[in-house]
Homo-oligomer: A and B are copies of this chain.
Amino acid sequence: MTLPDPFLKSIRDAVGEKAMITDAGDREPYLVEERGLLRGDSDLVVRPATTDEVAAVVRACAAAKIPVVPLGGRTGLVGGGVAAGGIILSTERMTGIREVDALNLTITVEAGCVLADVQTAAAEADCLFPLSLGAEGSCRIGGNISTNAGGVGVLRYGNTRALVLGLEVVLPDGRIWTGLNGLRKDNTGYDLKQLFIGAEGTLGIITAAVLTMFPKPRTTVTALAAVNDLGGVMEVFARTRAACGDRLTAFETLSRRCVEFDLAHVPGAVDPFAAPHPHYVLIEATSPRAGDPLRDDLEVVLGAALEDGVVADAVFAESENQRKQIWMLRETIPEAQKGEGASIKHDVAVPVSRVKTFIEEATRAVEAAMPDIRVVAFGHIGDGNIHFNLSQPAGGDPKEFRDATGMLNRIVHDIVASMNGSISAEHGIGLVKRDELAHYKDAIDIDLMRTVKRALDPDNIMNPGKIVQT
């Protein structure tokens, strides 16, 4: 698709030549998705510096009915930023931090701010911006909001949606909607910002946000416990939550296989206990109060669980370095999995009370379908989110395994659906899961989504084809 000259002129008038990337080589990084699984197509990347410039670009697109794909840090996993013609709008030059209000516990940032920079700005005001995920060094806050990102702090702080107090959005017709207030209570009509959070850029381009911060933690306790079975994992979770209350910020689980993959492929990975154990739970609790007796509380819980035989072994991080080592075991799993050949990943959620049953049923079902398949289950158990990943049979043919993707997805997702679960807990839909969404969602859901999409973007120019076909 060649972009018409009058349109290109209107873009030039909006942002200037320097903010336009037309050279094929320079465009390439904006077209290829991080893992190289998907490749988009677009003749023009535009890099506006201000909200007004974004609005001018979108007005030009609206006038010419040319699609626009918003792009942040390009770390998405479902192809939400993959263009099929039209232009790409990158927010990467919009990195301003507009305001930090420590008494109101809010920070106002532009969409292109890297998540780590938002965290740093909050820390400099002696506060915490709690969104935290693997890609935080490169993902951008506009993308986090557009995908309602999850991460490791959801148990305590909620998903990104819960952290957004206000938004500024360029609408599909190029108007700027300003909802940038930092209010914790506001019932003046429909809560419009909710439309744009998690909409993956299909209803407008988020250009700025007011985010909520928290008092900075002054006490952090991190522990790793070895557990014999999934029932024990859930029991430890229930006991820990009861003892820690809101101070429980993360409760992650790993199977022995996850640790073995780490040991095989991650330099510096260390087996955490003398003996191997079927399951591990990573517990982190924090408190804004210096001297909070969190460690004592957790020692009581784990001590009792050791006596009861629910926990087989446990270790506390005695230094920041040990804390990092414990977290490394959890965070390097996706990387370690690459060393074991092809993998097929499922980012699913079920009610917390169904986690054990889900993992057991899904494991049985995929092993029945492919006897030597290797289940790599881990994740944010505390909020019911399981990364139910599958690695190919050891030494098998990667292509043959990948060819089974549809079959294995169907098995796993059918079980998720039978438990009223989610086939995309934190990664979103984008392109990759769109057909799967259409398969599992009720027709009324899809119809409502289309109704909203058509109402806000009648010409279908905002990131078309993502989430639902219109």
Which of A90-98, A180-188, A328-336, A360-368 lies on the face that meets chain B?
A: A180-188
Instruction: Tell yes or no: A175 within 8 A of B by CB.
Output: yes
A247-286 Cβ-contact flags toward B at 8 Å (1 or 0): 1000000000000000000000000000000000000000
The size of the chain A interface, using a CB distance under 8 A, is 89
A380-424 Cβ-contact flags toward B at 8 Å (1 or 0): 100111000000000000000000000000000000000011111
A420-441 Cβ-contact flags toward B at 8 Å (1 or 0): 1111111111000100010011
CB A468 to nearest CB in B, in angstroms, measures 7
Report how far A158 CA is from B245 CA in the complex, Å.
Answer: 16
Copies in the complex: 2
Instruction: Tell yes or no: A40 within 8 A of B by CB.
Output: no
Contact: B289 with A384, CB < 8 Å? no
Once A103-B238, A455-B454, A456-B451 are accepted as A-B contacts, the answer to whether A445 and B189 lie under 8 Å apart by CB is: yes
Chain B positions within 8 Å of A423 at CB level:
188
Chain B positions within 8 Å of A428 at CB level:
187
Contact of A177 among B162, B241, B444 (CB under 8 A): B444
Contact of A187 among B106, B147, B194 (CB under 8 A): B147
17 more A-B residue pairs beyond the given contacts A183-B384, A183-B425, with a C-beta to C-beta distance below 8 A: A103-B238, A150-B185, A171-B448, A181-B351, A181-B422, A183-B351, A184-B349, A184-B383, A185-B385, A186-B422, A186-B424, A187-B424, A187-B428, A190-B199, A243-B289, A246-B247, A452-B452
A→B interface (CB under 8 Å): 101, 103-106, 147-148, 150, 154, 158-159, 161-162, 171, 175-192, 194-195, 197-199, 215, 234, 238, 241-247, 287-289, 293, 297, 349-354, 380, 383-385, 420-429, 433, 437, 440-442, 444-446, 448-449, 451-452, 454-456, 467-468
